[in-house]
Amino acid sequence: MAGPCAIESEEQALTIARIVKRHGAQVFRGGAFKPRTSPYSFQGLGEDGLRILKKVREETGLLIVTEATDHTNIELVEEYADIIQVGARNMQNYSLLRRAGRSAKPILLKRGFAATIEELLMSAEYIMAEGNTRVILCERGIRTFADNTRNTLDLSAIPSIKEVSHLPVVVDPSHAAGRREYVIPLSRGAIAVGADGILVEVHHDPLHALSDGRQSLYAEQFATLMKEIKFLAR
């Protein structure tokens, strides 16, 4: 799963979608509703962003994963997305989880940066208890004292989850690392410990990205990443 942090324009989304499709991505990621640390940061294009994502699917055939940030926009997101993302900051937003549990779409549930595996699995139960059993878990880094990375990628979460749950687990090394230099090695690690997939940020012009440019891969890096993890996955 690959794409920009945020949908910025139709041209930006289609350019990146063509790149990630060419190198073997199956799912296009991109935020239309962006929960940002600062209220003054770019908040996303909203429904216009969702309409752009629909065009991406029509043109490239890629499936779409995008975030619903609360119970007021999940209905709209559900109309456009193939997979609905519940973000790390919302992992314990129980009204959103219950609503996601009544959706016909699969849910990508991200681990909160201060949540245990048990808490992540209980949040998945909130969704499944409402009838939607198609839940994909996502490890995206937890907050520790380490300051060499944005968060600390907890690769031990993957075998730990696999021990007790049948749910697929994907790893997001981009938000864990916060720096594109670490995304390829961490992705290799994720596949090696048994992740079912990875979710990465890619941008054709990361220096001018409206969000998370520092951790977004250049097109050539994404090509390298795909070559390396395909080999490892085999």
Indicate the residue among 113 and 126 with the shorter CB distance to Mn ion: 113
- In sequence order, which ranges of the chain are alpha helices (DSSP H)? 10-22, 47-60, 74-80, 94-101, 117-129, 157-164, 173-177, 183-192, 219-233
Please provide the distance, in angstroms rounded to a whole number, between the alpha carbons at the two ends of the chain: 18
Q: Does residue 199 contact residue 172 with C-beta atoms inside 8 Å? A: yes
Measured distance CA(43)–CA(32) in Å, rounded:
8
- In the complex, minimum distance from the CB of residue 130 to Mn ion, in angstroms, rounded to a whole number: 27
Pick from 57, 19, 31, 1: which is nearest to 205 by CA?
19
Indicate the residue among 121 and 142 with the shorter CB distance to Mn ion: 142
Gyration radius of the chain's alpha carbons: 16
- From 7-15, 53-61, 205-213, 216-224, give the range in contact with Mn ion by CB under 5 A: 205-213
Indicate the residue among 35 and 168 with the shorter CB distance to Mn ion: 35
Indicate the residue among 84 and 121 with the shorter CB distance to Mn ion: 84
In angstroms, the Cα distances linking 35 to 2, 41, 90, 137, 181 are: 19, 9, 9, 19, 25
- In the complex, minimum distance from the CB of residue 128 to Mn ion, in angstroms, rounded to a whole number: 26
Indicate the residue among 97 and 200 with the shorter CB distance to Mn ion: 200
- In the complex, minimum distance from the CB of residue 212 to Mn ion, in angstroms, rounded to a whole number: 4
- In the complex, minimum distance from the CB of residue 172 to Mn ion, in angstroms, rounded to a whole number: 9
Q: Which of 212, 225, 226, 229 binds Mn ion (CB under 5 A)?
A: 212
The mark string for 2-31 relative to Mn ion (x by CB under 5 A, - otherwise) is ---x--------------------------
- In the complex, minimum distance from the CB of residue 201 to Mn ion, in angstroms, rounded to a whole number: 6
Directed axis angle between helix 94-101 and helix 117-129, to 10°? 50
In the complex, the residues that contact Mn ion under the rule CB under 5 A are 5, 212
